[in-house]
Structure 1
């Protein structure tokens, strides 16, 4: 996404978020209908497939802006689901969510199994299921489906979905598990980088304005060092994301893309962990009050660092590439 476009999108998201209030855990964000109305919900999906147009890079910029302002939404799952369905010439009404499954869930013409932590399932009309070989979509209003509600650390719906021989429509031209996983990984890396950036800015402002013994907290060497550590983590996450952006702009299903996205997700997850810990240390007791916005960021940092595929699983995937091709080859994939 070009810098001028990124700035315009960020300004729009900031305007949408300025009057928001904390919502009950499990609620569909009140901003979501507005995002749908403005066409933000399917950015990066071809207009011919029912989307708003634009590229994946545009979607990455939007995901980063939402993270920067600590905004939860079904954007990543919804837009990715529409993108995958569009590859097979299919469309869907209402909210679309998705789940990566094992090979036992998708039968010859129906689906059966128990899925955990399905994003926004209670509000979705369609569920895209993807295993290593096939993809299928089911209507979540069909008989034979039971949804047990749950939430993650950020209060976002992550429901269990039990499927009992539910009829499914199988995709003829699925983008493939690797491409879909890489797309999700890049979007979550962008959201995490944005949340780390937002947390850093909030923390820097706090330690610059809060005084102790007649001087701002940032004058204390330990405080300055912690803040610098957060900044360093942010720079590394942004650098890894920049490389992933270049890779996904070419071809999502390649080893080059997988290596770059895996690195971006691992670095962003590590940055999230460090940033959440240090920002709470620098805020002290203020950081845990409901009236102060830090919790909006740190709960999302904790929740998003393992979304769709955990940091450990991405590390394993990167290690498998290195084992198969050699460390030097993977280094070339990530930096060429």
Structure 2
């Protein structure tokens, strides 16, 4: 194997593929990046056996070949190289038992890395792109951005560690929840028909790679097998295992009879919550919101620490209500709201509250379960 590549192209390929390499690999080969040199490009691939990422970058290939090299050392080498062509070539000699050797040269700097036999590197899942559907990367990234923050990070309910992607004829819905908060977004599919009545539960790490790897104007091809989902756009591929099991019926927890409605400026509400939350030092980060005609009061009381109060004006319809929220959950919801004004609805202090763009566009809703108010 012998090829020459720019430092910029090398860093681009490593940045994408190394993101899928586990910090602690169960198998030694998983700590490597697979480098495949052929024609006028080099493809770099990494995996943790759950997520597979592959990116092709331009290169001058003199001799095709394939090698698996340590990801961490490759990334570190790429960071310290001069801005000059980087030359890779099979090592002329190898230390006994050291595996496959590759020489790397850039300017006066020279390195030799020993990797593992490339045939030990896991094969990518078999997914038929002949049955793929298309979606704009920008549309998919918006769905991910608006919902993924609400996913669970606890191990008690593994199904909630995934993001639900529902595909319906002409529509797509993405949902994430941890049981205490929920985010849901619906939008029309503009890239053609998708499989009807398909529900996919996807690890957030895979969707995070989709956010990072693809320019927003990329037309993504999306295909699935029984246990895997794959994204392809240009020279970049992302494959992921799907999480198995039934996702909870989220529609049942979205209240339909909330009769108290507040329209509030998002930025003003966020500022007020952030201000009083300085005193919310207990694990629940509890903030008390008191809604009344024309106004909203905030209060935080933390034993042995102190208290904070604030107030703001707003449009409110309904009886006065005091309701407690986790300040962190509130701030995350507000940060992802796409509208200047937020429509909040309530029923009772112990019932779920909803948050949505006041304009009704896009079709986006968040839910936050309240906390018990301590008098």
TM-score computed with the length of structure 2 as normaliser: 0.19
Flag the structure with higher strand content. 2
Higher RCO structure (Cα 8 Å, ≥6 apart):
1
TM-score normalised to structure 1 length: 0.21
